Amino acid sequence: MRLFILSAMLPMFMSFAVISDDIKSAHAFTFTSIEGSPLPLASFEGKTVLVVNTASRCGFTKQYGGLQTVWKRYRDRGLVVLGVPSNDFGNQEPGTAAEIKNFCEVNFDVDFPMADKVHVKGENAHPFYRWAARKLGPNAKPRWNFHKYLIAPDGKLVAWFSTTTSPTSTEVTRTIEKYLVRAPKG
């Protein structure tokens, strides 16, 4: 029983390990899903991933609707939108995982994958966020909720978009389309 519990928790502990400078792929990182199970970014290998730190009580919360729109538009072509709740900016995500999930489903019909709440800034930031800041430089660090990172199908971090950039903006959608691996249906 102890071995089972330890092996189930190993991905969670690994995600908080020291970030090595030789990590080349976002696929090396694991979040915990909002339902509580491991959510390795490696499970999205071969897909383009838009990682967005989110908050339910923010002036930008309506971007959930835009994220859902982008997810619906491009998921059949290989896009994954990953919402990552964080309470780091203005304490605008105080809820539990269940409350956050319910809020997103009821208010925005969100059905894209969501992670459990994490820190996205500072020394307690999730390792993915520390790695992304190291890879793309200090200007690419989240400065508020709804900061966006784009990961190519091979796991390379290829772009970032500020909070004020709508997920449905031409800038974001053109960049997503550049990295999609499947042709549109129809």
Give the Cα separation of 168 and 35 in Å (integer). Answer: 27
Is residue 16 predicted with pLDDT exceeding 90?
Answer: no
Computed over every residue of the chain, the mean pLDDT equals 90
Domain boundaries, the chain: 2-16+25-179
pTM: 0.87
Is residue 11 predicted with pLDDT exceeding 90?
Answer: no
Distances (CA, A) of 18 to 22, 43, 66, 79: 12, 22, 34, 29
128: which DSSP letter? H
Asked whether 55 and 86 are in contact (CB, 8 A), the reply is yes
Is residue 183 predicted with pLDDT exceeding 80?
Answer: no
**CA dihedral (13, 15, 19, 24) positive or negative:** positive
**Average pLDDT of the residues in 24-43:** 97
Task: Decide which of 3.40.50.300, 1.10.3470.10, 3.40.30.10, 1.10.10.10 is the CATH code for 2-16+25-179.
Answer: 3.40.30.10
What digits encode the pLDDT tens for the residues 140-161?
999 999 999 999 999 999 999 9
Which amino acids are annotated catalytic?
58
